[in-house]
Amino acid sequence: DAGITQSPRYKITETGRQVTLMCHQTWSHSYMFWYRQDLGHGLRLIYYSAAADITDKGEVPDGYVVSRSKTENFPLTLESATRSQTSVYFCASSEPRGPPRETQYFGPGTRLLVL
């Protein structure tokens, strides 16, 4: 688990500000994911990436931007934060060439509060 880290762990920001959440993994996993966790909704996929420079939208991508210039990093940017983006954000990674092929390993999470 120590192989995937997120920063910051806690963040308070204001409506309209740009915020970037960082995710770093040391396993050289090909796949990386961003989820948000909200009460009553479970974990919802925001964006995912199959490799460096390959990203795609998940279930709830609006208001978010991602990039992946290096395999180990997958930052998530909120371009103009809104109160509805207050949430706990989890990054995850997996290696499809496995085994275990499908297991996703989660980072410790970032708690974001938008005032």
Q: Which residues bind another protein (CB under 8 A)?
A: 1, 31, 40-45, 48, 50, 58-59, 90, 94, 96, 100-104, 106-109
The smaller minimum CB distance to another protein, of residues 14 and 56, is found at: 56
Q: Establish whether the linkage from the previous residue to 75 is cis, with ω within 30° of 0.
A: no
Token pair, residue 92, equals 């995850």
Q: Which residue has the tokens 């085994």?
A: 99
The smaller minimum CB distance to another protein, of residues 24 and 79, is found at: 24
The smaller minimum CB distance to another protein, of residues 51 and 80, is found at: 51
The smaller minimum CB distance to another protein, of residues 18 and 58, is found at: 58
- Please give the Cα distance from 11 to 114 (Å, whole number): 8
Least separation in angstroms between residue 16's CB and another protein is: 29
Least separation in angstroms between residue 26's CB and another protein is: 16
Q: Which residue has the tokens 């688990």?
A: 1
- Please give the Cα distance from 64 to 78 (Å, whole number): 5
